Amino acid sequence: MKFPRPFALLAALGLAACATTGDTPSRAADPLASPAAGEWTSDGRDYTAQRYSPLTQIDASNVGRLGLAWFDDLGTYRGVEATPLYAEGVLYNSLPFNVTIAYDARTGKRLWMYDPQVPREHARFACCEPVSRGLALWQDRVIIATLDGRLIALDRATGKPLWSTRTFGTDFTYSITGAPRVFGDKVVVGQSGGDFGVRGFVSAYDVRTGEKLWKFFLTPGDPAKGPDGEVSDAVMPWVRQTWFGDKYWQLGGGANPWDAIAYDPELDLVYVGTGNASPHARYYRSDNQGDNLFVCSIVALKGATGEYAWHYQMNPGEEWDWTCTQSMISADLTIAGKPRKVLMQAPKNGFFYLLDRATGEFISAGAHVIQNWNDGFDAKGRPITSERVRYGFDPALVMPGPGGAHNWFPMAYSPRTKLAYFPAYQSGFVYALQPNWVPQPARSNSGWGGYTGEAAAKRPPLQAQANAVEKAWLTAWDPVKQQVAWQVELPRHGNGGVFVTASDLVFEGTTKQTFAAFDARTGRTLWEFPTQSAPVAGGITYLLDGVQYVAINAGWGGGAAQIEQSSGTELPRAPARLLVFKLGGTATLPPLAATAPVEPPPPLRASEESIRRGTQLYAETCAVCHGPQAMGGVKDLRQMSRDTHAKFNDIVLKGLYLEKGMASFADLLNQQQTDDIHNYLIARANEDWGR
């Protein structure tokens, strides 16, 4: 096999190491398993996904001299969530709608740009903006997974397409926001869409040709159609036994693997983190019973064939929009005096988990935020779910809320400090069922309600209890002791992904609109740079010409903006930028433009009945992008200008802002329904902004 430099050198070094260390040939022969110290060639840097760099040039003694080397304006105000990749002097980056750019990593000069021409209307099927969380590299190619379901290989030198294949059709509301992963010679990719009513699956493709190798469904399909003809057929008979009623297969089931997918090359196991159930409310999807496999689980599959190996379900019968799609990190730890090969994860539900990565055996779990759903674990590690969080038509306060105690923002682990680092969020949410709920195509099919009448009156005091203890931190966690090592409190939810270096520095973007370095052992803030936007992405560090660089995308948005509860106000910010730092860097950002004052809303003249209808329609149709109760989101609709109010019908029904990703909803809404939503938004604006 031909390897471009330095991959050829890495392979040779790996084979030499095999003779002296006993590493398996599969690991030694794969340069993605052990990249050069100065490179960052996959999402988690290597297959452990520890986001740990062995570089030490930048350390506690000199990080204060870190300055901007260069930056690139990305031309968007949407969330930019990609972890850049670096190899052989070139930095690769991914923007919303999967626009991909290669840079000279010394100077920031653009070498090429590729736009896969994702239809902008497909943004309506993306839960939290048309984001891309990254790319994959393999030998001479860059792999991208597009929002509309294409897997494309690009020539690394030119950006020209080499092959393209579809991972799903156009008859379902799927999307892809997570980064594709290359494991050996396979590209493994998941998809999003659980909020809209789809059936999750993971699939693998030949990295050379794009040919499909295997596909594994994560929830059961229509029983009348028989087997799917996929590798998951072998487990579906017993998976189906965990579902009840006759609606689950019509509503998709969910369990979409929309972000982290990990790999152990020695075990040849692919670890798939699965998403929330669809619809959210188990009452409507499974007769209010059953574990509903494989929602909110880690599923291990054999890399060569895609066959089932084991699973662990964090939340049986999940119905709170919690996911287990967060970072999965491999490490070798000593626990109770014995060496263990572990997989660690901090999913949305507020616990930090250790599993045996060979068998899936539950080792331990510890809560890192206030939570009220878990009453412990049984002898086999199955969580004991409190009945008080199994909400009905009467509202119930559940902690954490749907934003999660740790969302997709990348986690890191240092083999030096033996600590994991991740952004944590303590929150709660008031859940209730919607009476007489009927699923709607291409909408957010949660089954949640309780926004009017008696239930609505009970919400505010319950939500106030959660808001009183709402906090956000950068958390350092000891996975062996299952306890906090240290925490740095940060102002609000949406603090970014984390990486750590061998010089014991932790880097993270913060909602103070800064990029910061912390002491990995104490949490002391060592350096902060004002970025003019909150960097939510995962950063990287690389070495070029003997100089260590640090790179981060600064682009506030995505789910972080939509879950924001504290004030609901939009952060004043610059357009998204790729920022690259080095010691002694002297580049400067242009001044932040002044934000226009929020105009007062129109007077409220609608009937209570219209506002009531608009409340429910907004929750079903708009909240997935514009935030619950119209707070935050892609665009805070309480802050519409007079001109936007005047164009409201044309925007919603005629697709006036299609190029911005706001497609026409004329297939879902009629004129009266659009007016009802508009009236609800005017009511919300008067309530919160018209004082």
Catalytic residues, by residue number, are 321
CA distances from 317 to 249, 570, 590, 601 (A): 15, 35, 50, 42
Q: How far apart are CA 554 and CA 564, in angstroms?
A: 18
d(CA 617, CA 452): 12
Q: Residues with Cβ < 8 Å from 264, sequence gap 6 or more?
A: 47, 271, 330, 341, 357
| Alpha carbon of residue 290 to chain centroid | 26
| Calculated CA dihedral for residues 296, 262, 382, 431, nearest 10 degrees | -20
DSSP string, 418-470: TEEEEEEEE--EEE-BPTT----TTS----B---SHHHHHHHHHHHHHHHHT-
Which of 408-426 are b and which e, b meaning 16 or more Cβ less than 10 Å from the residue's Cβ? bbbbbbbeebebbbbbbbb
Residue 183 pairs in a beta bridge with: 186
Report DSSP state, residue 689: T
- Are the C-beta atoms of 329 and 344 separated by less than 8 Å? yes
Hey, CA dihedral for 358, 359, 363, 369, is it positive or negative?
Answer: positive
End-to-end CA distance of the chain: 68
164, two tokens: 């393209």
Contact 239, 249 (CB under 8 A): no
Does the bond joining 410 to the residue before it have cis omega, within 30 degrees of 0?
no
Q: Cα-flanking dihedrals φ and ψ of residue 675, to 5°?
A: -65, -40
Tokens of 286: 């499974």
What is the maximal distance between C-alpha atoms in the chain? Answer: 79
Contacts of 42 (CB under 8 A, 6+ apart): 32, 35, 85, 136, 137, 181, 182
Rounded-to-integer distance, Cα 81 and Cα 95, Å: 8
The pair phi, psi for residue 182, each rounded to 5°, is -105, 125
Contacts with 558 (C-beta within 8 Å, 6 or more apart), sequence order: 78, 79, 81, 128, 129, 131, 536
